[in-house]
Amino acid sequence: MATAPCAKVRCWRWRRSPLRRLSDVIEAWVILVRWVLALVGGLYAGLAAADAVQRSAERQRTERREVSAVLVEDAKDKAPARAAGNTRVWPTVRWTAPDGSTRTDEARVPATSRAGDRVSVWIDTSGDLTAPPLTDGQARSHAAAGGLLIATGAGGIALAAVSVARFHLNQRRMRQWAVEWEHIDTRWGRKAG
Kindly report, residue by residue over 111-153, the tens digit of the pLDDT. 788 888 899 999 998 889 988 999 999 999 999 998 899 988 8
Confidence at residue 94, expressed as pLDDT on a 0 to 100 scale: 93
CA within 13 Å, CB half, 176: 12
Confidence at residue 54, expressed as pLDDT on a 0 to 100 scale: 92
**pLDDT higher than threshold 70 for residue 187:** no
Dump pLDDT digits (tens) for 26-68: 888 888 888 888 888 888 888 898 899 999 999 999 999 999 9
- How would you label 101-118 residue by residue, b for 16+ Cβ within 10 Å and e otherwise? eebeeebbbebebeeebe
**pLDDT higher than threshold 80 for residue 9:** no
**pLDDT higher than threshold 60 for residue 13:** yes
The set of residues, in sequence order, having a beta carbon less than 8 Å from that of 3 and lying 6+ positions away, is none
How far apart, in whole angstroms, are the C-alpha atoms of residue 55 and residue 63?
A: 12
Dump pLDDT digits (tens) for 73-87: 887 766 665 555 567
Question: Following DSSP, what letter does each residue of 130-188 receive, concatenated?
Answer: EPPPPPHHHHHHHHHHHHHHHHHHHHHHHHHHHHHHHHHHHHHHHHHHHHHHHHHHHHH
For residue 77, the one-letter residue type is D
Contact (CB, 8 A) for 131 and 56 = no
For residue 29, the one-letter residue type is W
How far apart, in whole angstroms, are the C-alpha atoms of residue 176 and residue 120?
A: 74
Q: In what order do the strands lie in the sheet with 65-71?
A: 102-106, 92-96, 65-71, 118-123, 129-130
Name the range with the highest mean pLDDT among 1-5, 18-22, 33-37, 125-129. 125-129
Residue with more model confidence, 14 or 72? 72
* Residues listed for the chain: 193
Contact (CB, 8 A) for 102 and 160 = no
